[in-house]
Structure 1
Amino acid sequence: MLAKPRLLALDMDGTLLNSQKRVSPRTLSAVRELADSGVVVALSTGRGLAEIADYSRELAFLTHASLDSGGLVYDLRARRQIHLSPIPREELVACLDAAAAQDAMVHLATCALSVVQRGLIARCPEFNVGVYRPMFERNYTEVDDLRSYALAHADEVVKVDIHHHDAAARDRSRATLEATTTLALADAEVGSLECTPRGVNKASGLRRLCELLGVPMELAVAVGDDDNDLAVLRAAGMGVAMGNANERVRTACDLVVADCDHDGIVEVIERLF
């Protein structure tokens, strides 16, 4: 990247957020100052609207986001969707069936809600997402019959997260869905599988944002730490791995910075902007 970048796309968990799921004061100050300078700072996250609600006040200066791993491109300031990519109904059913076969926890992301089967939030440590339990309890919607809800709202579901008991169970779900659907699949956390429509991922979300804002992709910097960031890290003008990133992410990136507990985002801003 020779020209000065004009957009910074930030993953949240393990990137903008530290291991305690907070934005450190130093990182928050640096990101706000960058946004005030005229650079577009956008979220590029697997989280949906309900899952970023806890940060809406401190990140109120942000204007745009690619949410649900590209399934929802959103204008934060106007509070309106720019683009929605729902999962085809038959592939949504395939996700539910694959999850049931592995006794997994399913999370449905719609344009506005994060929906789970009633009773499973209390069990989320079993599915390797215990760190998110407080956020789930605050912001998720529980329903008595998730399958019925999914079918009744199929045109609104943009992402399915399947949280498994272990990585082996996730691999079995992945193999099933790869054989029976055209979904875009991305590993996350210890045993989670993110499912979005074919061609929809964090890279497609960033492309839509760049088109909307008139920013060339080559002048966008993307930062992340996990496999669900790989597409956007490769597509952006520069991909940056956090120090806590896995080896696949590190290999895919142009630069590695400090980890999320040591203000790696501040290093990105100081070195590239």
Structure 2
Amino acid sequence: MYFMALATDYDGTLAHNGLVAASTLSALEKLKRSGRKLILVTGRELPDLKESFREIGLFDKVVAENGALIYTPASEEERTISPSPSADMVDKLKRRGVKPLSVGRSIVATWEPHQATVLDVIKKLGLEMEIIFNKGAVMILPSGINKATGLAAALTDLRLSPNNVVAVGDAENDHAFLRAAGLSVAVANALPSVKETADLVTKGARGKGVEDLIRKLIKLDHMVMRKRSRGVLLGTAHGKKVYLSPVETVLIAGSSGIGKSTLATALTERLVEKGLQFCIFDPEGDYDGLQGAVPLGDASSAPSKDQLLELIDKPDTNIVVNGLALKVDERPDFFAELLPGLGRVRYRTARPNWLIIDEAHHLLPKKREDTRAVLSLELPGTVLITVHPEAISTGVLRLVTAVIALGPKAKDVIKTFCKEAGVETPKNIPTPKGDRVLLWRPADDKKPFTVKAIEPDQSLKRHSRKYAEGELDEAGSFYFTGPKKAMNLRAHNLIIFARMAEGVDDKTWEYHLRAGDYSKWFRQQIRDKELARETAAAEKDKRLSPEESRKLVLEAVRRRYTAPATAPEK
């Protein structure tokens, strides 16, 4: 379930002439039974609303006084989020003959044509106030207070993100909270300006329109979205934008060093732009320094499960869970132990909106099939990133709705996925060239097609401690074998590499040097192009003795990765 709440205006939307029809109440009850929250957003003052709408207890939260007052019907708690009206202003408005004049906990309200008098009084008193119009009503509120700010306060209480809310309204003062929601809807009787900016317009007017919306929401959930709510931009194909659905399970796969993390970084930037919460599980420290995210864990300290769940509880907080301090064989257990708590949060709030799992073959290995529940199709977006799709849990692969394959072996990625997931391999798979990636949705009739993928604005600084002290997997490690393959010394990080390089004989050192093995490892596994270029120069310089070339390469490594902690990372 993606949309977790419905926020609705009262007069002219839910109610007609101040009354809510029995059929509309029945629809609201049905929506609540689906597990969603109800939020009433109105310009009315609370006492008046309670008197007119006896069924107010149906709602989990009420935003009254055009955003200034938050009311919780279950506990009857009232909370103002703005100061009380200026007594001087109220007194002067009365003296100027402004009638009717209603004074609430924060709001002061009257009717046209008194707006000129109201503006004059505010100006003479030097007050910072806003005047909001609503079909003839004139509402005076502290600056910055509107239905959107009130909705935000209510959603904070409910631990929900605005992106997971559908908002419906009809009038001028509804613009703000409609824009703030993940999906904006105008009822058929709404003002033209409201209809023009809404994502959807109902066929029915007022309560009937709300009933129509509820039926669609229960049946279709995120599928009702249009326009700006269509999803996360992946790139362009044939001049058209290509989006990922907000509830897709995406597999990003390709050979090492081909740009998988770069694409994932670009996607996180789009998520930040849209205010969508994400959580990255980062076993190798590839997202160190990612903008817009809070890091949890590092090369020397494991991430805390309790702290992670605490951070996720805040809708505007994105998290990068760094697993460098965890051994490779500890990572699946760590992730599996997190799943129940993470699953409960996602089921209750649809957050994090996107779960990004790098090195998915480590965290969701084929030998474990107890991870499928948290990655259910009924939950929000998930991205699985891997070099080895064949090593991922089969149950998880069968949830994949979109495959993004990178590099010259993109065809093989799709073929491997099909074999492991038990789906038919598509025919005529194209080969992506240059900066393009291959996109395929198994459930679609369309064949795979190439997409010019978005690029990140930021260039991530590789985490030096990961490569200096961490533990690269077997495939990513360097192996000193010598010319006759008489040895098989594994260096799983740069410190070990440097120690082994100092200890191996000259023939072994020279064998790998002249084969270009060092620069290849630095480029493909350490992913440091500058180090690779510097090393390649030493590899090609036949004038260097083994001692000289060894010194040049190891000095370059230590300068970048094993310098004192106070030195800046390169």
Per the normalisation by structure 1, the TM-score is 0.71
Q: CA deviation at 1:202?
A: 0.6
Q: Does 1:52 align with 2:22?
A: no
String of CA shifts for 1:132-190, please: whole Å, max 9, x gaps.
xxxxxxxxxxxxxxxxxxxxxxxxxx100012xxx4x2442464367443212211232
1:267 to 201, 212, 231: 212
Q: Report the AA paired with residue 15 of structure 2.
A: L
**More off after superposition, 100-109 vs 26-35:** 100-109
C-alpha distance in 1, partners of 2:56/2:162? 23
Q: How many residues were matched structurally?
A: 216
Q: CA deviation at 1:24?
A: 1.1
2:71 to 48, 71, 74: 74
Q: Does 1:17 align with 2:51?
A: no
Distance verdict in 2 for CA 1:225–1:83, change over 3 Å: same
Structure 2 residue matching 1:10: 3-state secondary structure: strand
**More off after superposition, 97-106 vs 194-203:** 97-106
Structure 2 residue matching 1:232: 3-state secondary structure: helix
Distance verdict in 2 for CA 1:171–1:252, change over 3 Å: farther
Number of the residue aligned with 2:146: 201
Number of the residue aligned with 1:104: 99
2:135–2:172 contact (8 Å) kept in structure 1: no
1:218–1:237 contact (8 Å) kept in structure 2: yes
**Pairwise CA RMSD of aligned residues?**
2.2
C-alpha distance in 2, partners of 1:160/1:196? 7
Q: 1:169-248 alignment to 2 at 5 Å?
A: 169-173=113-117, 175-176=119-120, 179=123, 180-190=126-136, 192-248=137-193
2:85–2:108 contact (8 Å) kept in structure 1: no
1:8–1:42 contact (8 Å) kept in structure 2: yes
2:38 to 29, 41, 49: 41
C-alpha distance in 2, partners of 1:252/1:98? 35
Q: CA deviation at 1:59?
A: 3.5
Number of the residue aligned with 1:162: 110
1:71–1:200 contact (8 Å) kept in structure 2: yes
Q: CA deviation at 1:231?
A: 0.8
Number of the residue aligned with 1:114: none
1:8–1:221 contact (8 Å) kept in structure 2: yes
Q: Report the AA paired with residue 10 of structure 1.
A: T
Distance verdict in 2 for CA 1:218–1:58, change over 3 Å: same
Structure 1 residue matching 2:19: 3-state secondary structure: coil
C-alpha distance in 1, partners of 2:187/2:121? 30
Q: Does 1:93 align with 2:37?
A: no
Structure 2, unaligned runs of 5 or more: 219-570
Structure 2 residue matching 1:58: 3-state secondary structure: helix
Structure 1, unaligned runs of 5 or more: 111-157
Structure 2 residue matching 1:60: 3-state secondary structure: helix
Q: CA deviation at 1:56?
A: 5.1
C-alpha distance in 2, partners of 1:210/1:241? 21
1:183–1:197 contact (8 Å) kept in structure 2: yes
1:99–1:162 contact (8 Å) kept in structure 2: no
C-alpha distance in 2, partners of 1:238/1:61? 22
Q: Report the AA paired with residue 116 of structure 2.
A: R
C-alpha distance in 2, partners of 1:271/1:177? 47
**More off after superposition, 38-47 vs 177-186:** 177-186
Q: CA deviation at 1:99?
A: 6.1
Structure 1 residue matching 2:57: 3-state secondary structure: coil
1:66–1:205 contact (8 Å) kept in structure 2: yes
Structure 1 residue matching 2:78: 3-state secondary structure: strand
Higher RCO (CA-CA < 8 Å; seq separation 6+): 1
Q: Does 1:5 align with 2:3?
A: yes
C-alpha distance in 2, partners of 1:105/1:269? 36
String of CA shifts for 1:215-255, please: whole Å, max 9, x gaps.
11111111111111111111111111111111221222111
Q: Any runs of at least 4 consecutive aligned residues in structure 1 with deviations exceeding 6 A, and if so which?
A: none
**Aligned-pair identity (%):** 28
C-alpha distance in 1, partners of 2:145/2:168? 18
Structure 1 residue matching 2:56: 3-state secondary structure: coil
Structure 1 residue matching 2:58: 3-state secondary structure: coil
Structure 2 residue matching 1:38: 3-state secondary structure: coil
Distance verdict in 2 for CA 1:93–1:238, change over 3 Å: farther
C-alpha distance in 2, partners of 1:257/1:50? 30
String of CA shifts for 1:65-97, please: whole Å, max 9, x gaps.
1111111111111001244422453xx533553
1:95–1:177 contact (8 Å) kept in structure 2: no
Per the normalisation by structure 2, the TM-score is 0.36
2:129–2:140 contact (8 Å) kept in structure 1: yes
Structure 2 residue matching 1:212: 3-state secondary structure: helix
C-alpha distance in 2, partners of 1:53/1:70? 16
Q: CA deviation at 1:7?
A: 1.1
Distance verdict in 2 for CA 1:260–1:102, change over 3 Å: farther
2:38–2:58 contact (8 Å) kept in structure 1: no
